[in-house]
Amino acid sequence: MSLRTRLIYLLATFAVFVVIAVSVTIYGTQLHIAELFTSFRRSMDQTGRIDRIKNAADGQISRLRDIVDGRIEDTPAYRDARVEFFNEVERVAGFAAAADETVRREILDIKTALERETTRCLSLVRDGNPDEARELLGTRVEGELLGSLHARLNATLIALTLVGGKSLGVQNTTLMQVIVLAIVVVVLAAGLMIVGARLIRRWLIVPITELRHATEKFSARDLSFRVSLPYHDELGALGNAMNSMAASLETAQAELHTSEAKYRVLFENLRDAVVICDIEGSVIECHEGDTRVFAFEGIEHIGRRLVDIWPQWGFRRLDWPSLIERVITSGRPFRAADVPLRRAESAASDMIVDVIVYPVAYDNMRYAAIVLRDVTERELLQRRVRHADKMEATGTLAGGIAHDFNNLLTSAIGTLSLLGNEIVDERQNDLLQTALRASWQAAGLSRRLLDFASGGSGRPQVLRLREVVTLVLGSLDASVFDGIDVACECHHDVLVRVDRDQLTQIILNLVRNACDAMSEPGSLRVSVDMTADVGHDEKSSPQPCGVLTVTDTGGGMTPEVKERLFEPLFTTKVRASHRGRGLGLAIVYASVKSAGGFIQVDSELGVGTTFRVYLPVGEGVPEPVERPAYAGPAEKGHGTVLVVDDEPMIVRMCVDALQRWGYAVVSADSITDAAQKFDSASDDIALALIDINLPDGSGVLLAQDLVSLSPELRIVFATGFGDTSVPPDLEPNVCGRLAKPFALDQLSAMLSAALSPTSHD
């Protein structure tokens, strides 16, 4: 018979006995408890009701006296309570029947008499005889009947107590029978447990002890030990299996050596660097992978401390000894991303790695495994992404500034131009022309900000590089070059194709940065040269370039500063002096890129910095550097013009100019205002000058609505954000686009052309 079958029979026998014994004991105990509980509950209920009826009787007589004395009235609620009281007396009389039938009849008689007399008292009160009712209440009701009722109820309580005592004796006898039954069950259970324990020791304890002894022998590598069991059951089969296992351990050990060799090959061919250290930080194993971070060729590194072998790792972000000890002690892995490690003392830059340190255990020892993954390329990509985000944010800011700046410049240039027609004094006219030139230079800066914001290439022109350089250097105040020896070597006549405003900004920013870099007297050299075909990198095609070189003898730059040189909002200047904004070189970089050129920077600490700007060579006739002077309108105009702009200064300037030229003007500052005024004067308005960006919507949509009301209406758009597309159905009505700031002669020419009689033919 198998061990399992024997155990099942033994457990089944014990279970049947337990079920029968427990069932009998529970049934007997439950029966006794039920009888005892029923008797107790009945006795308590009867006793409690007798006590309550005694109190209720006193309460009924007290209320009756209050009615007789006139303190309260006989209400329906009292009558219902009185009826319920007498019914309860009748029910309590039934309790006395269990003890003495005579007492029950006496209680019923007293109840009948009491009901009759209380009714009589109430009748006397209603009939107006309170004295008789009071005498009846005192002598008959309270003196005789109430006392008799209390006496009979007390006799009932005594009788119930005697009956309960007899029941308690019966219950005690039943309880003794249950206790004897429980003792018999316990004795039988103890005997059965003793027999079961002996059988279990023979069948289980002895074989298991033998098997445990065998496992201890096998753990001690004593493979000659064999298990010997008396039964051929499940445990006997387990013993035979352990004997077979001992015989196969030698084969398993050989396979383990093979497996270790395989994993050693995998470990040595990992691409990541791996170092295994003990709690003291000494190297147990080491694998460099493809990272080349260790540089330990020819060095005996096993057994030496990590920080002694590779001191160039340093402790910039991680305290390696403390980290190794913490990981081994706590058993929790550690992860860190983008940790800089220097490959060697002679390396020019750090390598960026992801670090994982986790606990490992073998040979009854605990170690820390350090895995280093080279993520330098990922870090460079993330930097480029962050740079792109900064450029986008800076572009949005620059676009908003340029838009508001264009509105201010439009008003300033227009107002100055209007003053030009009224000033006859030569000195005042020179001052006015100087202000106009400064405003147009500011307009160039504003357009450059817009190009920087939109990533556009501006308006490329063919320019003489040396003329622009000479003009910019000559326009700077002499205080900029205090203590600086300036040398301008612009001997080559080089034509470049670039936006004029962008080129001005490039020269201004490079020259001012060079001057700011020299805190002590130094020298500044600006030169213009021509190169043969060159390319920025291997991917770009070679092309001839004009070269603008700006060299200073300032303090130079560190490699870290040079790496971030063209980032927006990055500056090394003291911000408290209000000189550093971090946008100058970012604009230079964007301008050169948009022109199709590139920049090279050479810098050395304590020596100075050289910027070389390579710009593509242009062909054709170069455009003049100076902007032509303002000229007023050739002839007076006619017609009504609707001016729509949310900038009050622009509206005022346009209204003044148009009225001087002979036009009637209707002005509005929003789409809603323009629609209302057009409805009232649509027959007279021949042309609408509309700002594209209005506070309550698009000026293009406003133009479409106006043209739908007046198909012959001419449209001139003005914008501070550059070019804006116009729907094809609106294009025939558009006679011009003005980029803010605009010259009044441009506006005059557009109006004259749009409102001349020939333009409508």
Chain segment 523-582, per-residue pLDDT in tens: 999 999 988 766 655 556 677 889 999 999 888 888 878 877 777 666 776 543 444 555
Q: How far is CA 401 from the centre of its chain?
A: 31
CB 484 within 8 A of CB 515: yes
Q: Determine the Cα–Cα distance for residues 561 and 517; give it in Å rounded to an integer.
A: 13
Q: Could you tell me the end-to-end alpha-carbon distance of the chain, in angstroms, rounded to an integer? A: 122
pLDDT at residue number 149: 76
> Residues near 371 by Cβ (< 8 Å), separated by ≥ 6?
272, 273, 274, 355, 356, 357, 358
* CATH classification for the domain delimited by 457-616, as one of 3.30.565.10, 3.40.50.620, 3.40.50.12780, 1.10.10.1100: 3.30.565.10
Mean predicted confidence (pLDDT) in 646-669? 88
pLDDT at residue number 528: 92
Q: Which of 201-210, 340-349, 535-544, 602-611 has the highest mean pLDDT?
A: 602-611
**98-102, 179-183, 188-192: which has the minimum mean pLDDT?**
98-102
Q: 508 pLDDT exceeds 60?
A: yes
**Residue 441 CB-density burial (10 A; 0-12 exposed, 13-18 middle, 19+ buried):** middle
CATH 3.40.50.2300, applies to 640-760: yes
Residue ranges of the chain that CATH labels 3.30.565.10:
457-616
DSSP-assigned states of every residue in 168-189: HHHHHHHHHHHHHHHHHHHHHH
pLDDT at residue number 614: 92
Closest CA relative to residue 370, chosen from 261, 485, 289: 289
Closest CA relative to residue 530, chosen from 550, 545, 551: 545
Confidence of residue 746 (pLDDT cuts 50, 70, 90): confident
CB 465 within 8 A of CB 494: yes
Helix/strand/coil percentages in the chain, nearest 5: 55, 15, 25
Q: Which of 119-123, 207-211, 547-551, 684-688 has the highest mean pLDDT?
A: 547-551
Chain segment 327-374, per-residue pLDDT in tens: 888 889 998 887 777 655 555 566 788 888 989 887 788 898 888 887
CATH 3.40.50, applies to 3-174: no
**What's the token pair of residue 505?**
């900004």
Q: Determine the Cα–Cα distance for residues 435 and 439; give it in Å rounded to an integer.
A: 6
Q: 213 pLDDT exceeds 70?
A: yes
**What's the token pair of residue 320?**
């390696």
Q: 490 pLDDT exceeds 80?
A: yes
Q: Which of 125-139, 141-155, 318-332, 654-668 has the highest mean pLDDT?
A: 654-668
CB 565 within 8 A of CB 577: no
**27-31, 507-511, 572-576, 620-624: which has the minimum mean pLDDT?**
572-576
Q: Which residues of 729-744 are buried (b: 16+ CB within 10 A; e: fewer)?
A: ebeebbbbbbbbbbbb
DSSP-assigned states of every residue in 342-393: ESSTT-SSEEEEEEEEEEEEETTEEEEEEEEEE-HHHHHHHHHHHHHHHHHH
pLDDT at residue number 688: 92
Q: 613 pLDDT exceeds 90?
A: yes
Q: 629 pLDDT exceeds 60?
A: no
CB 461 within 8 A of CB 595: no
Q: What is the CB-side half-sphere exposure of residue 106 using CA atoms within 13 A?
A: 17
Mean predicted confidence (pLDDT) in 456-469? 79
Q: Determine the Cα–Cα distance for residues 748 and 20; give it in Å rounded to an integer.
A: 118
pLDDT at residue number 628: 44
Q: 714 pLDDT exceeds 80?
A: yes
Residue ranges of the chain that CATH labels 3.40.50.2300:
640-760
pLDDT at residue number 137: 78
pLDDT at residue number 547: 92
Q: What are phi and psi of 231, to 5 degrees?
A: -110, 145
- The residues facing 285 across adjacent strands are 276
Closest CA relative to residue 449, chosen from 394, 511, 507, 388: 394
- Unique residue bearing structure tokens 């259970």: 189
Q: 301 pLDDT exceeds 80?
A: no
Mean predicted confidence (pLDDT) in 702-723? 85
pLDDT at residue number 687: 92
Q: What is the mean pLDDT of the chain?
A: 76
CB 604 within 8 A of CB 555: no
Q: Determine the Cα–Cα distance for residues 473 and 296; give it in Å rounded to an integer.
A: 56
Distances (CA, A) of 565 to 433, 510, 603, 748: 38, 12, 11, 45
pLDDT at residue number 1: 63
Interaxial angle between packed helices 699-709 and 671-681, expressed in degrees from 0 to 180 and rounded to the nearest 10: 20
Confidence of residue 689 (pLDDT cuts 50, 70, 90): very high
Interaxial angle between packed helices 101-126 and 147-200, expressed in degrees from 0 to 180 and rounded to the nearest 10: 130
Q: 256 pLDDT exceeds 50?
A: yes
Q: What are phi and psi of 365, to 5 degrees?
A: -130, 155
pLDDT at residue number 634: 45
Chain segment 53-70, per-residue pLDDT in tens: 778 777 878 887 888 787
pLDDT at residue number 286: 77
pLDDT at residue number 575: 45
Closest CA relative to residue 737, chosen from 672, 697, 689, 666: 689
Q: Determine the Cα–Cα distance for residues 550 and 547; give it in Å rounded to an integer.
A: 10
Tell me which fold the domain 270-374 belongs to: Beta-Lactamase (3.30.450)
Q: Output 754 or 333, whichever has higher pLDDT.
A: 333
> Residues near 515 by Cβ (< 8 Å), separated by ≥ 6?
480, 481, 484, 524, 552
